[in-house]
């Protein structure tokens, strides 16, 4: 029987919580993806003008990858305080950091104005973006997962995941509109700044909505019980959440990292690298490439909740495995379609790729949330997701661009994604199914004494505690 803490909230309250998480994640992903699109289209000329065009693109993607390098640090810091102070407070902070950094990018002087200081400043702001996003994802999905109806957790928790395609849709849409109405000279001179400056308005809207929701009831109950245990032990402190995660959930962290490989790598190859490949190797116009990602992102947004609902019926693992196998199998047809240079084929290639990606991304929120204990869930889910991004999404466009430069062919890029898919299939294949778990029961088999490092043992040592 579900506990009171896990009882379904009222429909209106749950919808407000889902909306708050979705809008916040949309804004943060808009900021993050906007940088990726700009890195592929204009940053090579604005911040690395002395380089060969393809080398400039590589350097541009290198600053793009730097943002991923900061995400594990964000996961550690936000996870720690999110497990100690609550999900809501940290989500507000992450939104402020991300929005502020993005707005500042829109004000940056270029290389032509301040020389080498321009790419340095760009890199610093990208680090802030990555730090903020590293803490955003875990809090957003947990706020919904810990509020939602356990029977439909996969569906409800998948809605914050739609923030990624929604942010991609918004970022690509704004850039596509600007490139359509502005000349290349005007866009390269000042037009590229507009979507970054718009982030300031979006952040105000996101904060207004996020501040209106309540803290997770599951977390509040766990916090109250933890405080009662500390009082009973005369103030003995609990171990840091990250220490508890690595002690009790290290296998789950490895599973989450492996599960992220195909999902993360395929996404950035399909949405970011494709802007380079389609325009340089397939002879597609910049506008057509942006529009193909725009259309595919709309479909991606629509299918994610459907995949999440399916995971409630058949389990997280089967849906995730379907996506990993599908993405791997699609890579050679994907590049073959893009190579034709036809807009319809380009749309088909990107859309099918993102639909298959959605089968991994949709159940991921519930899957990762269900792996970890309440008092270490923010840390566990964030560490598993964000540490993987350093090896997966961070270098994906960079590796793909380097492979293209070295081999002049899409074949090694397709094999790169297929290898990631194999790794994900192995990781998810050895994982346990989590669909039926009550989040208030997914706790480490420890005693309070064990949590504080004491050697004491009691008959309750094998009981699950909040």
Instruction: Concatenate the DSSP letters of all residues of 301-340 into one string.
Output: HHHHHHHHHHHHHH-HHHHHHHHHHHHHHHHHHHHHHHHT
8 A C-beta contact, residue 162 and residue 301: yes
pTM of the model: 0.81
Question: What token pair was written down for 57?
Answer: 């693109």
Mean pLDDT value across the chain: 83
Query: If you ran DSSP here, which 8-state letter would residue 125 be given?
Result: H
Count of CB atoms situated within 10 Å of the CB of 250: 11
* The predicted structure's pLDDT at residue 19: 84
- Above 80 in pLDDT, residue 460? no
Residue 464: band (very low, low, confident or very high) from pLDDT cuts 50, 70, 90: very low
Residues 10, 7: Cα–Cα separation, whole Å:
9
Residue 4: per-residue pLDDT = 39
pLDDT of 447 above 70: no
pLDDT band at 337 (very low <50, low <70, confident <90, very high): very high
Tokens of 460: 């309750």
Provide the pLDDT for residue 445. 45
Exposed, middle or buried by CB within 10 Å (0-12, 13-18, 19+), for 194? middle
- What is the token pair recorded at 353? 């790729």
pLDDT of residue 230: 67
For residue 1, is pLDDT > 90? Answer: no
- The answer to whether 272 touches 36, Cβ cutoff 8 Å, is yes
Q: What is the pLDDT of residue 364?
A: 95
- Provide the percentage of residues in the chain whose pLDDT is more than 70: 86
Distance of CA 96 to the CA centre of its chain: 17
Residues 139, 387: Cα–Cα separation, whole Å: 16
Return the DSSP state at 271: I
Per-residue model confidence (pLDDT) at position 451: 39
Most confidently predicted of 164-178, 268-282, 366-380, 402-416:
402-416
pLDDT at 231: 66
Contact criterion met (CB below 8 Å) for 307 and 158? yes
In the predicted structure, residue 33 carries a pLDDT above the cut 50:
yes
Res. 344: pLDDT tops 80: yes
pLDDT value for 454: 37
Determine the pLDDT at residue 238.
Answer: 62
d(CA 312, CA 29): 26
pLDDT at residue 52 in the model? 61
450: which residues sit within 8 A by CB, 6+ positions away? Answer: 457, 461
Structure tokens at 67: 């943002």
pLDDT band at 267 (very low <50, low <70, confident <90, very high): very high
Contact 317, 428 (CB under 8 A): yes
pLDDT at 236: 56
Strands (E), 58-217: none
Most confident of 83-92, 330-339, 451-460: 330-339
251: left (phi over 0), alpha (psi -120 to 50) or beta: alpha
- Given a contact cutoff of 8 angstroms between Cβ atoms, the answer to whether 140 and 25 are in contact is yes
- Distance, CA of 38 to CA of 290 (rounded, Å): 11
- pLDDT at residue 376 above 80? yes
State both tokens at 338: 């893009």
Mean pLDDT of 36-58: 73
**Which H/E stretch holds residue 446?**
none
* pLDDT value, residue 164: 87
Dihedral sign (CA 66, 380, 207, 202): positive
37, 275 Cβ separation under 8 angstroms: yes
pLDDT at 455 (0 to 100): 37
Q: Compare 98 and 361 and report the one with higher pLDDT.
A: 361
**Position with higher pLDDT, 39 vs 230:** 39
Residue 9 has what pLDDT? 56
Phi-psi domain of 364 (left: phi exceeds 0; alpha: psi -120 through 50; beta: other):
alpha
Q: Is the pLDDT of residue 2 over 80?
A: no
Q: Which of 105, 91, 41, 77 is nearest to 287 (CA)?
A: 41
- For residues 160 and 144, give the distance between their C-alpha atoms in angstroms, rounded to a whole number: 8
Asked if the model's pLDDT at residue 5 lies above 60, the reply is no
Predicted local distance difference test score (pLDDT) of residue 107: 94
What average pLDDT does range 285-306 have in this prediction? 92
End-to-end CA distance of the chain: 16
Mean pLDDT of 161-171: 88
The first and second tokens of residue 168, run together, are 């991609």
Alpha helix positions (H), 340-372: 343-369
pLDDT above 90: percentage of residues in the chain: 33
- What would the two tokens of residue 442 be? 């997914």
What is the band of 345 on the pLDDT scale with cuts at 50, 70, 90? very high
**How far, in Å, CA of 320 to CA of 357, rounded?**
9
> Is the pLDDT reported for residue 151 higher than 90?
no
């Amino acid at each position: 029987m579900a506990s009171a803490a896990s009882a379904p909230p009222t429909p209106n309250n749950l919808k407000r919580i889902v909306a708050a998480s979705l809008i916040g994640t949309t804004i943060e992903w808009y900021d993050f993806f906007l940088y990726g699109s700009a890195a592929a289209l204009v940053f090579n000329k604005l911040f690395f003008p002395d380089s060969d065009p393809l080398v400039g693109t590589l350097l541009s993607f290198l600053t793009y990858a730097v943002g991923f390098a900061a995400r594990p640090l964000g996961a550690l810091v936000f996870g720690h305080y999110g497990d100690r102070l609550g999900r809501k407070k940290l989500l507000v902070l992450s939104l402020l950091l991300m929005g502020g950094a993005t707005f500042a990018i829109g004000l940056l002087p270029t290389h032509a104005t301040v020389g080498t200081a321009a790419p340095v400043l760009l890199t610093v702001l990208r680090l802030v973006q990555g730090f903020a996003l590293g803490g955003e994802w875990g809090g957003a999905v947990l706020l919904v997962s810990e509020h939602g109806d356990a029977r439909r957790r996969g569906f409800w928790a998948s809605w914050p995941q739609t923030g990624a395609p929604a942010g991609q849709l918004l970022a690509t849409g704004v850039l596509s509109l600007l490139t359509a109405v502005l000349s290349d000279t005007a866009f390269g001179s000042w037009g590229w700044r507009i979507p970054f400056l718009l982030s300031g308005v979006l952040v105000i809207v996101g904060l207004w909505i996020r501040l209106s929701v309540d803290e997770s009831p599951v977390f509040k109950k766990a916090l109250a019980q933890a405080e009662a245990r500390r009082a009973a032990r005369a103030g003995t402190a609990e171990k840091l959440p990250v220490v508890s995660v690595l002690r009790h959930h290290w296998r789950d962290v490895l599973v989450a990292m492996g599960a992220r490989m195909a999902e993360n790598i395929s996404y950035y190859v399909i949405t970011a690298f494709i802007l380079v490949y389609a325009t340089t190797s397939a002879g597609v116009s910049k506008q057509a490439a942006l529009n193909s990602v725009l259309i595919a992102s709309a479909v991606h947004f629509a299918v994610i909740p459907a995949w999440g609902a399916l995971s409630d019926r058949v389990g997280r693992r089967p849906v995730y495995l379907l996506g990993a196998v599908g993405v791997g199998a699609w890579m050679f047809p994907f590049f073959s379609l893009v190579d034709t240079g036809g807009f319809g084929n380009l749309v088909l290639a990107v859309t099918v790729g993102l639909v298959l990606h959605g089968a991994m991304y949709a159940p991921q929120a519930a899957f990762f949330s269900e792996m970890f204990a309440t008092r270490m869930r923010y840390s566990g889910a964030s560490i598993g997701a964000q540490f993987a991004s350093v090896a997966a999404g961070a270098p994906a466009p960079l590796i793909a661009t380097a492979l293209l430069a070295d081999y002049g062919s899409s074949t090694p890029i397709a094999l790169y994604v297929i290898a990631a898919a194999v790794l994900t299939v192995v990781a998810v294949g050895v994982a346990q199914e989590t669909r039926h778990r009550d989040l208030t029961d997914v706790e480490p088999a420890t005693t309070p004494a064990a949590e504080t490092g004491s050697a004491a043992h009691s008959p309750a040592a094998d009981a699950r505690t909040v």
